[in-house]
Structure 1
């Protein structure tokens, strides 16, 4: 595959994952109550749970086959993540203070940022910083492994990371469950290895058209299974429960592999739009960071998601609008050089 096809495939996957994140967060608004809107929330949430895994799989493709010395790697990667983390944390803290939810004096602001995400979705920036610490080791494992070794590594990762979800779903309780679920960064780290492996398989898979359609069909199957499992388990515990939405759920892992293939493969069909896709892809970090602000402002002004209107259309409509507005704002900001480093 040519370099341009590779870039367009990665850009398509990144933009698709970014839009899925927004759909997921919009769908989550009405998930917590069993009412006539719940099934729509469950449907869209189940369909988009692969969003963060796809982001991580893209990182695996781009990073694990690359060689660079440690100082260069950490300087480049941390310089990419730390400025957005600090900027958007301060942005949301300033907005919360404006709304009367202050953090006290400056030492308290610093403590709040150091203690964890000040807005829930910024957890990803903290997680990616932790994951980057392991990338040099993952590179060594990847470079020195045969195909069989890679499969064994991924099988062990899936078993250890996915077991807490399966165990909790079947009512199991043991020290092993607690141990294996205590380090989510370690669990998420496996998606980098998975992404590099899936991409390697995709490149060697012929004919690709049948592989693409099989991936699309299986993605629907695993998404529906996630939706059904969420319903069954929620009924079992008598309250909506997101256990099977976990990024380390075996169903989400399987769906992530499939949708990665679908989005990356779609890039070959979108090569005439490669320039536009590349510009949008460059904005996805900023869109991810700002979309919660845009979504909250839209909901505060319209109340659409809680208005009683059908969630089957209001969720995709709101998500599409939030994506377009967020993207437009980030594109404008990126015209000013300082904002390129935080978006």
Structure 2
């Protein structure tokens, strides 16, 4: 459903996709403590449901990328204007919150709090907690180059800035390309999605561990130039006109795509999780965002949600506000994962409900906080919340 705001079209079903993507990404992060916590990871039921939800929520980041392609391709602004509007808009909030995340351990020491509170907030730091000012400043100094375990979710900001840098140049081709040419690009991109599995299962049989021209002196093989998140950008643009299929056809296609993708994702990850010899790379292989199984799940969600129609204006306005606050919700939510896990993890709430309840609660608190900052600071809030 598209409603006319007088100035520009507002795509309501896109707000619904954004809501789903935000809940998914929060859900993914809610799962982390179940694997990392020594008290939880030894309980098979926790591992099982973490695998169920971890597989279910994989379309999160690809959905964000598709929305970016839908909204911004082709780029209609001069290079400098586009960079200023897009990159500078997120740069200040990213820097501010990255500093806050990385200085948090030192703040806890200043307040006289126990060192293990750092691991309670950020599960990936467990066993490596430090309240030393020098360690916090070292992580702050690394912000231009890499995220830390205290702000794992900020990896997406590096990706997003990279996409913004790339888009004006990609846009020049997109603007001139026919639908047939776009389908050809997407077909080659889809082949490239198999590369992680080919590298893991086929390349070792060649003895050197490389495929398609890759080597010790060349990391850029045959499919490199079509690989990565640019395919999701183009797919979002390609699908921007909406879905004119019947509901029956849409539902059938979405169920098949999502079901097949989910089965591959769940089965692969569960097998890796059950193998005590699995490395971190083995564990993440079937969770790879740029893989055929995740791409199928993402396309299924996008197709189905394009059919959503919302006519109640109260809901439309709430979704619009959520969209306005979406970036802020994303950057602040990671502060809440640890505390809510401490509240809900040991509770009597049935294990299958713990991740969804955590995700909804974290989403609600992060949204309320972001909305409050916007209400108090007005337009200036954009420098803090994006």
- The TM-score normalised by the length of structure 2 is 0.78
1:232, CA displacement in angstroms?
2.9
CA contact (8 A) 1:49 1:245 kept: yes
Which residues of 2 match residues 55-134 of structure 1 at below 5 A?
55-100=64-109, 101-104=131-134, 108=138, 110-118=140-148, 119-134=151-166
CA contact (8 A) 1:212 1:265 kept: no
Name the residue aligned to 2:210.
175
Name the residue aligned to 1:245.
287
Name the residue aligned to 1:192.
233
1:166, CA displacement in angstroms?
1.6
Name the residue aligned to 1:329.
369
Name the residue aligned to 1:229.
268
Cα gap change, 1:112 to 1:339, in 2 (>3 Å):
same
Name the residue aligned to 1:262.
304
Query: 2:74, 2:140 → 1: CA distance?
Result: 36
Structure 1: tracts of 5 or more residues without a match: none
1:176, CA displacement in angstroms?
3.0
Structure 2: tracts of 5 or more residues without a match: 110-130
Larger helix fraction of residues:
1
Matched, 1:143 2:175: yes
Q: Which has the larger radius of gyration?
A: 2
Cα gap change, 1:106 to 1:238, in 2 (>3 Å):
closer
Superimposed CA distance per residue, residues 251-292 of structure 1 (whole angstroms, 9 cap, x where no aligned partner):
0011111112223332x2355321111001111111111111
Choose which of 37, 43, 49 in structure 2 pairs with 1:40. Answer: 49
Aligned residues: 337
Cα gap change, 1:249 to 1:102, in 2 (>3 Å):
farther
Query: 1:137, 1:47 → 2: CA distance?
Result: 34
Query: 1:110, 1:184 → 2: CA distance?
Result: 32
Q: Secondary structure at the match of 1:77?
A: helix
Matched, 1:284 2:326: yes
Aligned-residue Cα RMSD (Å) equals 2.9
1:159, CA displacement in angstroms?
1.9
Matched, 1:158 2:190: yes
Matched, 1:311 2:351: yes
1:217, CA displacement in angstroms?
5.0
1:229, CA displacement in angstroms?
2.2
